Chains A and B, each alone.
Chain A
Amino acid sequence: MITREEILLTRECVGYAKAEGASAVRISLTKSIENLVATLDGEVDKVTRCADRSMSIALFADGRYGSFSINKLERKALFRFIREAIETVRMFAPDAFRKLPEPGRCCRTAVNGLEMGIYDPAWESVTPEDRVRMALEAAVNGHPEPCCHPGACPELVEGRSEGSPFRLVSEEGEYSDSEYDTYVIDSQGLECRHTETSFDYGVEVTIEDNKGNKYSDYWWTAAPFLKDYDASSCGATAVQRAAAQIGAAPARSGRYNMVIGAEVASRLVSPLLGALNANSIQQGNSFLVGSEGKKLFSEGFTLIDEPWRKGESGSKLFDSEGVATSTSPIIENGVVKRYFANTYMAGKMGIKPTLEEAVRPRLCGWPSAGLDRNALMVMCGNGILVTDFNGGNCNMTTGDFSYGISGQVFENGKSVRPVHEMLITGNFLELWQHLIAAGSDFRPCATRLIPSLAFSDVDFSG
């Protein structure tokens, strides 16, 4: 945790920068500790301890601006660094729009960093032995009945026509726990703090079928509290996902209904959030230029930023400028409600500033709450279920995209055969007009709360 002495030193740096000629300054001090135990095939393979401290300094001087960072936090070195930084800022061209946010927009409620309720004091009592135990307990290979044969885990191959056996070639697991603490101060009187802990487990498995073909997949979980951490099903889920791909082949090219699993659906939301960022809009590098207030998407598409979800990782009371966050719609019933504009970009564009970016966006269930992936498949009848992406990109000026995918062909609402080496192509504006339904099965451990989604008329080629 950030110490009293470190806070005092940071305050002193703000004063020093002002004394050396800075017109304004904001400093973010971050400190984190992460402990990690990695396993390979049920044995400990790597133990890591990471302890980081860093100071990021936004400096304003003579109508100019620069950003700097340093991880040598000795007083003398910091003061020298700040002097050099101010000299550097003075070499840049003036920019009238560079300034700190209006004090009235800034957060006043993040006083001790614990307000969001995502710091677990139990983190401090986790021992190296506990970490090794938790890493080994989560490993499939550590189980008395390893899932190296469908006989051990018959449900893993349920629904597959071949039912061929497979063996587990490799299992890489990684347990980690961390403490993250950040303190932000500026020369207008802002002081705010955010502290959180996290307990995480991720696993990647590779299996081999009886023809020598290999398939790999992953699964992960995370929780801010040790009592909520449960990685017991991660390994089996990863094996199940890999086994579901045995015998995968491309489906016939054409237009299909697409259901996308909650575990990867965020991939289709990220380009929208990027395109709503004023950085992209001001440069004309966005397919959502001029979109604010317009209905561009399906009636059922509602995306809300909910940064104050207490007790959930990623929730936060302020952004990187120290501006107070709030619950607000991003897209509501298909209408674009807001851009993400920090103080600088808002000034340049002559619009009202909002936040740097979405903190914890949640996509709302539609047409009714409570649907999950299976319900969406039943609703669609036939189509392709996407369970993973493999590469791809989006042209941010046009919204055209193309992504590699793998998953399952489904008929009458049930998976019938695995597919891979396929591509989906289209345009994001059109894709989101074709939203049929949105589930409510998002993973709370993810930063973006995006559920399974169903779309009609998606171009698949393979």
Chain B
Amino acid sequence: MKMRNSIDIFGIGIPQLRAIVAEGLKGGNWCDLYFEQTVYNDLLLRDGAVASGGFHLDYGCGVRVLDGEKTGYAYSESTDFTSLLDAARAARSIAVREGSFGVSAGAPVPPQLYAMKQAWADADKKALAAWLERLEAAVRTREPRTLKVIAMLSWSQSDIMMYNSLDELTEDSRPLGSVTMTVIFGDNGKTEQRSVSRSLRCGSEMLGDQLLADLAVEAVTGLDDSFAARRPKGGRMPVVMAAGASGILLHEAMGHAFEADFNRKGQSIFSDKMGRRICRKGINILDDGTIPGNRGSIRYDDEGVPGQKTYMVQDGVLTSYLHDRISASFYGVPPTGNGRRESFRYNPIPRMRATYMESGPDGSLEDLIASVRKGVYVDKFANGEVRIGEGDFTFYVNRGYLIENGRLTMPVKDINIIGNGPKALADIIAVAGDLKIDDGTWTCGKEQSVAVSCGIPSVLVKNLTVGGE
């Protein structure tokens, strides 16, 4: 796809960028500008027809001034020179000391991560609507108990331009396509709901026959078990987590506590554990912004730092936090490309990208299940949450099974699992060799919403609290 030059999109030149940053530097030692134009489109299929949708244009520029670790931030929805100068003056009110232009250390230009065979802007909307209708038909064909299908296709294109007081100008053009489908099934007066999704940074080529079939199959697989599922008796027990979406455990229970802002402020339960063993040898946990096409991938973060792959835990030892420029400066380490923001309306903070654990040496999922006398196996999750200070986390299980004497028995659903991050990490006693990254529409809500993804191989956690009757 041919991209318009960012300078043209935002209608501002290098001399003006320098003048705005110089204005900001009158009140700090760092200034950066974040220009964004995002066009978001959606189509909604409901009651058998794509009868609504729309598009939304969001445009503006955020100006950030830093005085050490203190932040001044303002934004303008107009990118004319005068408005941005005003924003720079508002942002610089954080401090009185004056900075100056620095010199960029230079950074390698990161590779293109967003394969784009068919730009969304060039796609025929009628064809996109027809794809949603075929998706509904595929579900109904596979499962006659289907009552309702609601499917939404959304796509966005964000053109980003960043400039900072190191005289660095970077740009990124980020596509994001997402399909979400909720299906209501009915059987003898009982209803069941399934939600499935895919989200990728690529063009409309993602809407192929394979994705259509995958989503339809995923929506109906194991439906009999879902109708039969009950809540188990609650209590503490071993939990086997299936590969893929169980990565929410890493995101909630550990990932947030590895974000450097929580550690810089002393709030994280891991704030005094750098360099120490926090889980068994052989476990590697990383946050990766470089997986081609992944929802959490970014060529540059929202501070102009190249996206990268960051190991937080290597061989069981805590080796790095996730940094933005502020925390990196505080700790005296290079930024890790985790400075992210929801839009130009927000200042960047340390955020995850694609967080996952590497495959381990303990065989297969079946081996893990076979090793448990009495516990729970979980494979479909809805959401999670963590309390940073205590490390307590929960996540909600849509689907799973009891494990009795090494075999899956009664299907279970609608249960919450609760634990403590460091304890759960230390209690991972087996890691299978089947890492899977989940491509669902995961969105992290720490102060601001950003697109992320997660993954994990099948793991066995020795002891977690499972909610039940």
Q: Which of B330-366 contact A (CB under 8 A)?
A: 345, 347
CB of B145 closer than 8 Å to a CB of A: no
Chain A binding surface SS class: strand
Number of interface residues of A (CB under 8 A): 72
Interchain CB contact (< 8 A) of A402 among B385, B389, B414: B414
A71 to B391, alpha carbons, bound, how many Å? Answer: 40
Chain B binding surface SS class: strand
Find chain B residues with CB under 8 A from A85 CB. 54-55
A9-17, A312-320, A419-427, A447-455 - the one binding chain B: A419-427
CB-defined interface of B440-460 with A at 8 Å, one 1/0 digit per residue? 000000000000000000000
Find chain A residues with CB under 8 A from B278 CB. none
A41 to chain B, nearest CB (A): 8
CB of B59 closer than 8 Å to a CB of A: yes
A71 to B129, alpha carbons, bound, how many Å? Answer: 27
Number of interface residues of B (CB under 8 A): 77
Find chain A residues with CB under 8 A from B345 CB. 50, 52
Find chain A residues with CB under 8 A from B167 CB. none
Number of A-B contacts (CB under 8 A): 224
Instruction: Evaluate contact between A68 and B55: CB separation under 8 angstroms.
Output: yes
Q: Which of A23-53 contact B (CB under 8 A)?
A: 40-41, 43-53
Find chain B residues with CB under 8 A from A461 CB. 234-235, 465-468
Whether A390 contacts B191 in the complex (CB less than 8 A), given A48-B74, A66-B53, A206-B266, comes out as no
Instruction: Evaluate contact between B419 and A421: CB separation under 8 angstroms.
Output: yes
A291 to chain B, nearest CB (A): 14
A459 to B184, alpha carbons, bound, how many Å? Answer: 28
Interchain CB contact (< 8 A) of A47 among B72, B234, B393: B72
A52 to B47, alpha carbons, bound, how many Å? Answer: 36
Q: Which of A228-248 contact B (CB under 8 A)?
A: 242, 245
A283 to chain B, nearest CB (A): 5
Interchain CB contact (< 8 A) of B266 among A64, A170, A242, A392: A170
A213 to B465, alpha carbons, bound, how many Å? Answer: 20
Q: Which of B70-104 contact A (CB under 8 A)?
A: 70-77, 87, 90-91, 93-94
Instruction: Evaluate contact between A64 and B51: CB separation under 8 angstroms.
Output: yes
Instruction: Evaluate contact between A216 and B465: CB separation under 8 angstroms.
Output: no
CB of A432 closer than 8 Å to a CB of B: no
Find chain A residues with CB under 8 A from B69 CB. 45
Instruction: Evaluate contact between A92 and B52: CB separation under 8 angstroms.
Output: yes
Q: Which of A410-435 contact B (CB under 8 A)?
A: 420-425
CB of B148 closer than 8 Å to a CB of A: yes
Instruction: Evaluate contact between B77 and A51: CB separation under 8 angstroms.
Output: yes
Q: Identify 24 residue pairs between A and B in the complex whose beta-carbon atoms are under 8 Å apart, listed by A's number.
A: A45-B69, A45-B70, A45-B71, A46-B72, A49-B90, A51-B76, A69-B57, A71-B59, A88-B54, A93-B50, A172-B265, A206-B389, A213-B390, A214-B267, A242-B389, A283-B148, A390-B385, A391-B396, A393-B382, A402-B415, A422-B465, A423-B465, A425-B234, A461-B467
Q: A47-B71, A390-B394, A391-B396 are in contact. List 20 more A-B contacts (CB 8 A).
A: A49-B87, A49-B90, A51-B77, A69-B56, A70-B56, A71-B57, A85-B54, A85-B55, A92-B53, A169-B267, A283-B46, A283-B150, A283-B184, A348-B47, A390-B393, A390-B418, A391-B386, A392-B416, A395-B193, A403-B394
